[in-house]
Structure 1
Amino acid sequence: MSLPSARFAAALEKFDALNAEDPNQDTDAEGRVWPKELLYGQRMSAGLAQVAHGAPEPVQLAARCQHIRRWAIPRQDFPLDRAGYHRWRNTLKQYHAEVAGQVLAEAGYEEATITRVQALLQKKELAHDADVQLLEDVICLVFLEHYFLAFARQHPEEKVIDIVQKTWRKMTPQGHALALKLPLPAEAQALVAKALA
């Protein structure tokens, strides 16, 4: 396996530095406290390495900056209905793509790679682009493994089941197989089983 390029290392370092500014905190499995989006970026990179070791460089870059500076555009700044949620998500995708583009340009990436990473972040051609689908599988797996149970405890069961079903529809058969092997707590496993029944 080839060593990562200097610009790849520089881009990851800058993504991490930006996400380290997150005022929100999260705790990892060992009980260590992290800036929330810094931990998410680390989990995305680790998840991608498990699912597709040696994934294309643009996918590795997009995985690490998937939520770059996400806290800068809070959910509560948009109407708290379905339309507001979709506006928030689309605004975030555009923002993540812009910030990532700036970082990648500063790191020395050419326009083609920058455009590719931005397309991945915006989930363009999800049903037809294998790299976008790979990224989506990793997003779903990271959610299920690290965030699902906390989410489930905050929402009614019917909403949780609906979310699992929607998540499942976004994933590939390989993603499904990996999801069913995740070491989920019994409570989370029961909810997934109910959603898939």
Structure 2
Amino acid sequence: MSMLDEVLEIIDQINAQDPRMTATVGAAAVPSDLIYGLRMSLVCDRFAPMADDCVKIAARGQYLESWLFDETLASAESPSSPAPTDEQQRAHSADKLAKIMAANGYDDQACNTVRNLLLGSQDASDGRLQLLEDLNGLVFVQFHAQQAIAKFDKANLPQLLRNALSKMSDEALSFAWQVTDDPIITGSIQSIRKNLSPQKKSVYYLD
């Protein structure tokens, strides 16, 4: 088994402990962090098969043990404690993921790269951070957008979709447009693409 496969297997074993469950079509509910990580890897294989180990590991494990920082779960266990923050969750997941990588043969540079990706502090010039944003956006389009459309009031949908899609690159938005036929989503994608910054229109990492 390769180092990458070993790390991904450990991530899945940990994510399988998530007490929160996500319903899946035609199958039993699955631990939420586990199914999200698997979906990120699936989308990565389709959209960016050339991605390196750092991106693949960050994609699979970006929410590692995130249930420990779920405000509802945390408040039920410790009602008087301050609500955990997203920053605390990201730091915890980043540190734990880096330790898992180091224990399975990855060097300091790779471990620090993944840690910085999860913290959002990776140098943007190499494209990895943008690629991680793209993968999150594509997972939303393919697996969560329909639920959001059904759940949210139509007046709030445009802003919701802008928030979810505006961080994506033009290349990822183009890919998303090809894999969905929902007119609300495709319309939002077209609108966002018209106003993209030059940086979003050129993602060198994917070239």
The two structures have a TM-score, normalised by structure 2, of 0.78
> In structure 2, what is the Cα distance between the partners aligned to 1:142 and 1:171?
11
Does residue 1:164 correspond to 2:161, yes or no? yes
Structure 1: state its 5+ residue gaps.
Answer: 79-83
Asked whether the 8 Å contact 1:22–1:38 carries over to 2, the reply is yes
Does residue 1:89 correspond to 2:83, yes or no? no
Alignment of 1:25-174 (within 5 A): 25-76=21-72, 88-125=85-122, 127-174=124-171
Deviation of the 1:193 alpha carbon: 2.0
> In structure 2, what is the Cα distance between the partners aligned to 1:126 and 1:137?
16
Structure 2: state its 5+ residue gaps.
Answer: 76-81, 192-207
**1:11 maps to which of 7, 14, 36:** 7
Matched residue, 1:81:
none
> In structure 2, what is the Cα distance between the partners aligned to 1:75 and 1:192?
33
> In structure 1, what is the Cα distance between the partners aligned to 2:189 and 2:12?
35
Please list the CA deviations of residues 36-57 of structure 1 after superposition, one character each: whole Å capped at 9, or x if unmatched: 1111111100100111112111
Aligned length, in residue pairs: 184
Asked whether the 8 Å contact 1:162–1:195 carries over to 2, the reply is no
Please list the CA deviations of residues 92-149 of structure 1 after superposition, one character each: whole Å capped at 9, or x if unmatched: 2112101211211222222111100111112225754401101110110001211122
> In structure 1, what is the Cα distance between the partners aligned to 2:30 and 2:40?
15
Matched residue, 1:193:
187
**Letter paired with 1:169:** S
Secondary structure of 1:157's aligned partner: coil
Seq. identity, %: 23
- CA-based RMSD: 2.6
Matched residue, 2:196:
none
Please list the CA deviations of residues 151-183 of structure 1 after superposition, one character each: whole Å capped at 9, or x if unmatched: 333333343321211233211110110111123
